[in-house]
Amino acid sequence: MPKKLFIKTYGCQMNVYDSGRMTDVLTPLGYQTTDSPDGADLVILNTCHIREKAAEKVYSELGRIKPLKARCQGEGGSMIVAVAGCVAQAEGEEIIRRAPVVDLVVGPQTYHRLPELIARAHRETGGVLDTDFPVESKFDHLPQPQAHGGVSAFLSVQEGCDKFCTFCVVPYTRGAEFSRPVDQIVAEAKRLVGDGVREITLLGQNVNAYHGAGPDGRDWGLARLIRNLAEIDGLARLRYTTSHPRDMDDDLIAAHGDVPQLMPYLHLPVQSGSDGILEAMNRRHSADEYRRLIEKIRLARPDLALSGDFIVGFPGETDADFAETLRLVNDVTYASAFSFKYSARPGTPAASAGAQVDDAVKVERLAALQQLLGAQQDAFNAATVGQTLPVLVERAGRKPGQMVGRSPYLQAVHLDGPDTLMGTLVDVTVTEALANSLTGVAAPPDALTAPVPLRESA
Ligand code: SAH
Ligand code: SF4
Ligand code: F3S
């Protein structure tokens, strides 16, 4: 009888990748994934600590799992409940104290040890804890990744962060910056492509700070890694996320102009448009430096679509500071973006700053910012109507005969066509832009629109 494994993933793409790798670790032990915690032998919550709301979600989920575990035990069975990810790292033992339903707490750098930790959790009472930052990387111990059946896959190349933005928990939950060696990454990418993957998104908390050991004994930067991966036969598209403006070097900018597999879409968070706030956040660049950087990248790749992250209501943020953020957004123009109310995180420097901003003010600023960003996103999507874009078909749509893929700019595109289109690049003429997706029809050969700066056509 296979054992049932339920994994719920919160937070960023790195957690999605990690959940896949946890499954790889547990498959040889006879675990098969299931989509409900009810009746599962092992429940893993792979958690996120970035904002208070994200962290609190875990405890409500544990509240729902408690009666399921009790019922399972009442029927003579056993259920192991594990908390993994960034809340596990940040709160450790505190989780077991607050939620005794938890048997096992495992941090992001030690989940390769899950088999022994689960065995211990079966033997011992009171909860098992492993939140080490071991010297040896988990990547040296993980089994080969298994095919998860998708056309698009994530691949972690870098982990951790040394930037210490004053609002952020990541340097504490993920540890110091670490880059995987080039050979290991290339082997994993080739394996994914062999399993049918056509698009790989390289992941790192600070991915453009990548500096992994190359086969020539030197450290390679992200651009060199990308150029090398682009040579893999059958790999149609490459993306990377998330980047820091400070680490956007000339070689990486040049790669956007001359590596055709590298998609013209870049997530480059700026957080704020005010120099004073940027300094208080320890972002280590000014708003104008960011503007100039964007100009330079768009010079290399004129049709580049930009995405970003913003925080409103950082301690000390005034109306004038916030107006600077709106001005920056107007100058830069985003195709999509994420924006958040500042959330004070325990242990981070900004959390104890005197001038915390009222929630009502945060709510107001967030609404204004989201209205502007939403309008920019709508304009960006509308500008693609009438264009013919290469779409990588990823899955079947909800309606029969419908398929869904992604444009180079990461927009979801619906089109009519057979299942056999899965994993292929189809030239699609966009006919309609909806709120969160585009609709299009397959175009005749050679109909592709030459890449145009969509920003200017908007
Ligand atoms: N490594 C990435 C982002 C990591 S977290 C980077 O450097 O950009 C993703 C986003 O969450 C951040 O870009 C930021 O906008 C937001 N975020 C992080 N900490 C936050 C906090 N304490 N409150 C609100 N938003 C936060
Ligand atoms: Fe957090 Fe800043 Fe590091 Fe991004 S660069 S993970 S926001 S500390
Ligand atoms: Fe969240 Fe950890 Fe990712 S805090 S955003 S899951 S790195």
Band (144; pLDDT cuts 50, 70, 90):
confident
Reported as a single tens digit per residue, the pLDDT across 264-282 is 999 999 999 999 999 999 9
Whether the per-residue pLDDT at 419 is higher than 70: the answer is: yes
Q: Reduced to 3 states, what is the DSSP secondary structure of residue 282?
A: coil
CATH number listed for the domain at residues 138-382: 3.80.30.20
Q: Which amino acid is at 40?
A: A
Measured in Å, residue 158 CA sits from the centre of ligand 3 at 14
| Residue 153 confidence (pLDDT) above 70 | yes
DSSP 177-222: -EE--HHHHHHHHHHHHHTT--EEEEE-TTGGG-EEEPTTSSEEEH
Is the shortest distance between the CB of 377 and ligand 3 below 6 Å? no
> Which residue's CA lies nearest to atom 7 of ligand 3?
170
Enumerate residues lining ligand 1, CB below 6 A: 50-51, 167-168, 170, 205-206, 242, 244, 269, 271, 309, 311, 340, 342-343, 345
73-80: long-range pairs with CB below 8 Å, 24+: 77/41, 78/41, 78/122, 79/40, 79/41, 79/42, 79/43, 80/41, 80/42, 80/43, 80/104, 80/118, 80/121, 80/122
What spacing in Å lies between the alpha carbon of 350 and ligand 3's midpoint?
Answer: 18
Average pLDDT over residues 349-362: 95
pLDDT beyond 70 at 180: yes
Measured CA to CA, the distance from residue 26 to residue 34 in angstroms comes to 13
Entry field: residues in the chain: 458
Tell me the fold of 3-130: Rossmann fold (3.40.50)
Q: Which pLDDT value is given to residue 456?
A: 52
Band the pLDDT of 457: cuts 50, 70, 90.
Answer: very low
pLDDT computed for residue 453 by the predictor: 72
pTM of the prediction?
A: 0.96
What pLDDT shows up at residue 450?
79
**Residue 205's pLDDT is what?**
96
DSSP one-letter string for 327-382: HHHHHH--SEEEEEE----TTSGGGG-S-PPPHHHHHHHHHHHHHHHHHHHHHHHH
Q: Which of 258, 207, 197 is nearest to 232 (CA)?
A: 197
Give the 3-state secondary structure percentages of the chain, helix then strand then coil, rounded to 5.
40, 25, 40
What distance in angstroms lies between residue 164's CA and the mean position of ligand 2's atoms?
Answer: 6
Residue 350 near ligand 3, beta carbon < 6 Å? no
Ligand 1 centroid–CA 245 distance in Å is: 14
Looking at residue 458, its pLDDT comes to 42
> H helices of 35-158, where?
52-74, 85-91, 93-98, 114-123
Of 170, 174, 242, the residue with max ligand 3 atoms within 8 A of its CB, to mutate for a pocket test, comes to 170
pLDDT per residue as tens digits for the range 279-304: 999 999 999 999 999 999 999 999 99
Decide if pLDDT at 454 tops 80. Answer: no
- Separation of alpha carbons 439 and 54, rounded Å: 33
173 in helix, strand or coil? helix
Q: Where are the domains of the chain?
A: 3-130, 138-382, 388-442
- Conformation bin of residue 289: beta by default, left when phi > 0, alpha when psi is -120 to 50: alpha
**First-last CA distance in the chain:** 57
- C-alpha of residue 12 to centroid of ligand 3, in Å: 5
Local structure of 429: helix, strand or coil: strand
Q: According to CATH, what is the number of the domain 388-442?
A: 2.40.50.140
Q: 423: closest CA among 156, 203, 230, 147?
A: 147
Query: Each residue of 29-50: pLDDT tens digit?
Result: 999 999 999 999 999 999 999 9
Q: How many angstroms separate the alpha carbon of residue 115 from the centre of ligand 2?
A: 31
Å from CA of 163 to ligand 2 middle: 6
CB-based pocket (< 6 A), ligand 2: 161, 163-165, 168, 170-171, 205-206, 244
Quote the Cα angle for 128-64-96, to 5°: 25
Residue 56, classified by CB atoms within 10 Å of its CB into exposed (0-12), middle (13-18) or buried (19+), is exposed
